[in-house]
Amino acid sequence: MEGNPRHKAGMRHTPEQERPRERLAQVGAEALRDAELLAILFRTGTRDANAVALAERVLGHFNDLRRLAQASLNELQQVKGVGRVKAIEIKAALELGKRMTNHKRQTLKRVTGAVDAVEIIRPHIHLYETESFLCLHLSTRNDVLRVEEISKGGMDWVNIQPRDVFRQALRESAHAIILAHNHPSGDPEPSSADVAITRKLGEAATVLGIRLLDHVILGDDRYVSLKERGLL
């Protein structure tokens, strides 16, 4: 008797592993492994791998979810069995998760200091491998109105003009802003350029009637507040 074609190449998945949708309905999404959740997105596998096996292949290729989230469509399609459609499904699902995290943290969140600002900003910036610059818009009570991405990737953020920073803040009638950017090196110590552009933007904020409360620089598991350093 011929074996089940789904078990070719030594794959030994139990019926439960091959039915992640049913498992989710029975035990809840929290109980499923990463591969099972990813397999639900795929719906189908390939000739040599069912959906769960394909999901395990994808996760094994990128080692962890963070690297998977950073992967481009072309990089995702380098995994055997992942075509353009499945790559797009992965990107869309991970982006939804990211936005949900950001939405929950923004809802009526009040900023009382640099620690609060970092808690809000880090989910927006922690996946970036290149330097990125964000602006936190605040109300008169320092409630979060918006987290705006000003630049990401190849752009040298120190060359950003005040209009790039304050355009949306003015539209939203923001009372104050907090600047933030990351140092991909992991060392958040401010450079002379960081201090100079902060002071330049502080002068522009004064002219526009918007308070610049702080500029925080994020590194690996720590941050620097220019306000706390007396550099603002």
Check residue 8 and give its pLDDT.
39
Q: Which fold has domain 5-102?
A: DNA polymerase; domain 1 (1.10.150)
Structural domain boundaries of the chain?
5-102, 108-225
Decide yes or no: CATH 3.40.140.10 for domain 108-225. yes
CA distance 94 to 204: 37
d(CA 121, CA 101): 11
CA distance 178 to 232: 11
Closest CA to 198 of 220, 213, 218, 187: 213
The identity of residue 99, as a single letter, is R
Is the whole-model pTM more than 0.75?
A: no
DSSP assigned state of 79: S
Q: Do the beta carbons of residue 118 and residue 220 sit within 8 Å?
A: no
| pLDDT the model gives residue 31 | 86
pLDDT at residue 232, rounded to an integer: 86
Find how far residue 227's CA is from the centre of its chain: 25
CA distance 70 to 73: 10
Each residue's pLDDT tens digit in the chain (232 positions)? 444 433 333 444 444 445 888 888 888 888 889 889 889 888 888 888 888 999 999 999 998 788 888 888 999 999 998 999 988 989 898 888 777 766 555 455 889 999 999 988 887 776 566 788 899 999 999 999 888 888 876 545 657 789 989 999 998 899 999 999 988 888 999 999 899 999 999 999 999 999 999 999 998 888 999 999 999 8
